[in-house]
Chains A and B, each alone.
Chain A
């Protein structure tokens, strides 16, 4: 059981280049999240999805786009990378609770370390 898989694990980009980070989960979870982690800033929510075909903005969505065409995949895109997007990116998922309190823990991927030069 793989859980949440992120690819790639490491990437170096030049300013202005584009790339897509892939998050795949095999637990049939409804909710998926993209966070970035920077020193002293904790994890900040970029975008999230509450189900296939849906996406919503988080705390820091500018410069990123996402898509959830299939329930198991959540893609994070950088159209024109900037040095400020150098960070560690985490994907997470959790199951739906049919309208009940969202008390389920998040399942995290192992992270993608992105450097933008």
Chain B
């Protein structure tokens, strides 16, 4: 079985400063990992995905995430926050083709301070 833990329910950063959203996963098999973003009253959008190729994954809007197997982590980062980044972010795990469940974390609400 797989699970995902987002370590912070809320994160606040000032505009122009770095963003770090933390995610730890648990999986019986080599996982696929994703980050999705949901802006207020909007649908879910894929930011990036890890599928066992490069461990550093680049996504849209300047976001990237690093897969660290030894730490079972997949933290999301961005060098410089923008006001438009204010949203809820979800870390998602899928444990390969053997288990088709796709499990979401509880989400991290990112607040951007002017």
Contacts and interface: CB of A to CB of B under 8 A. Distances in A.
A31 B106 contact: no
B78 interface: no
B73 interface: no
A106 B36 CA distance: 10
Nearest to A105: B46
Contact of B101 (A42, A45, A108): A45
A102 B106 contact: no
Contacts of B101: 45, 48, 58-59
Nearest to B47: A105
A97 B90 contact: no
B32 A102 contact: yes
Interface residues of A, number: 28
B51 interface: yes
Given A42-B107, A45-B102, A101 B43 contact: no
A101 B9 contact: no
Interface in A79-94: 90, 92, 94
Contacts of B104: 35, 42-45
Contacts of B36: 106
Given A31-B100, A108-B44, A101 B106 contact: no
Contacts, number: 62
Interface string B26-38: 0000101010100
A33 B44 CA distance: 14
Contact of B34 (A31, A90, A105, A111): A105
B43 A110 contact: yes
A33 B102 contact: yes
Given A42-B106, A108-B44, A101 B34 contact: no
A30 B36 CA distance: 21
Nearest to B91: A42
Contacts of B102: 33, 45, 48, 92, 94, 102, 106
B90 A43 contact: yes
